Amino acid sequence: MLAVGSVLTRTLFQGRLGQMRRGPGGLGTTTTGELHSALGDSLNVALVVGLLAAVVAAGVVAALLARRFIRPIGAIREATDRIARGEYDQEMALPEEEELSALATDVNTLARTLAATETRRTRLISEVTHELRSPITTIRALMEGVLDGVTDPDPELFAAVAEEAARLQRLTDDLALLSQAEEGALPMSPDLADLRRLAIAAAERLRLQFDHERVALETEPGPALPVFVDAARLGQVFTNLLGNALIHTPSGGSVTVGSSTAGGMAVVEVVDTGRGIPQDELSHIFERFYRLPNADHAAGRGIGLTIARSIARAHGGDVSAHSTGVGTGSTFRVLIPMHQPGALDSRAGGGE
């Protein structure tokens, strides 16, 4: 508008001056008012034409920009529609525009995350079905044997049925606990406790099992670790970790429970001399129903570590695993925030 108005004003005003020059008396008889009027008329016409030119130019530029932006936005809409339909395996190309490229990256990340979630959900259903099928099949076979007269209904049969039913009960209880923990709905009764004593108490409860498997169980001296936790829940964390260490440590090996502090966190380590964990498996061992390759059925249901980490995280902490490879043993660390004096009252208000 400025460019057109500037050029057009000069041209129109010069034209008016030319008309005045050709008139009677020429420019010598032209008054200041006439000059102002000529300039005003020229300026008004130039502004109107310049405004129209600016509108046309803006329309053209807007159309070009709209085409440039609408195309990738349309691609993003199509991608989100595919995601809504459950198609997570198509990754869209990134537009040149920085903002749209960031949005497309987020959409691709969302698709990958949903794909991973769907894969875990499908695998979870399959693995839960497998875990449930085994005891149900055993119970059904035993009962059919009784009904067909092949098996006598003696105490051993009823004990076998009771054992399989208990196995089902443990699985359903673990799944319910895991669901509550991952949803942040785990009921807890926190109180001031010593994390080291909780770990040692769990170790002493399992000592007979360690002795039976001829695995040495050692507890190292360490400082008191005041924490504000649900003692029963944290006891389950240590029970799961010690049980896992016992399963994967052969006879003649050892499991050591140590404690320390680090960066305001209370730390308890469960160190074993067992089979160790391959480096490429470390990132998976806390997944639900995950078992190490070549692990036999005695390795458990594959959710003990998942439950342990979920409970620790519900307390604001975490559980981590470290191993340098197969045959080198493993170290599991439980980290819980240290209790700060004066914080008890404010934390106790959020009990159950």
pLDDT tens digits, 192-247: 999 999 999 999 999 999 999 999 999 988 888 999 999 998 998 999 999 989 98
Q: Assign 285 to helix, strand or coil.
A: coil
Lowest mean pLDDT of 162-171, 179-188, 257-266, name the range: 179-188
- Residue 49 burial (10 A CB sphere; 0-12, 13-18, 19+): middle
Please, which pLDDT band fits residue 168 given cuts at 50, 70 and 90? Answer: confident
Tokens 């004096």, located at residue:
341
> Per DSSP, what are the bridge partners of residue 258?
269
169 confidence band (pLDDT: 50, 70, 90): confident
pLDDT of residue 345: 44
Cα(340)–Cα(347) distance, integer angstroms: 10
* CB-CB contact of 267 with 260 (8 Å): yes
Query: How confident is residue 293, by pLDDT bands cut at 50, 70 and 90?
Result: low
Q: Output the six-digit token pair for 28.
A: 């010598």
How many helices and strands in the chain, by DSSP H and E? 9, 7
> Which pLDDT score, from 0 to 100, does residue 146 have?
86
Distance, CA of 227 to CA of 341 (rounded, Å): 10
Please give the mean pLDDT across all residues of the chain: 81
Domain annotation for the chain: domains and CATH numbers: 2-84 (no CATH), 98-182 (1.10.287.130), 191-348 (3.30.565.10)
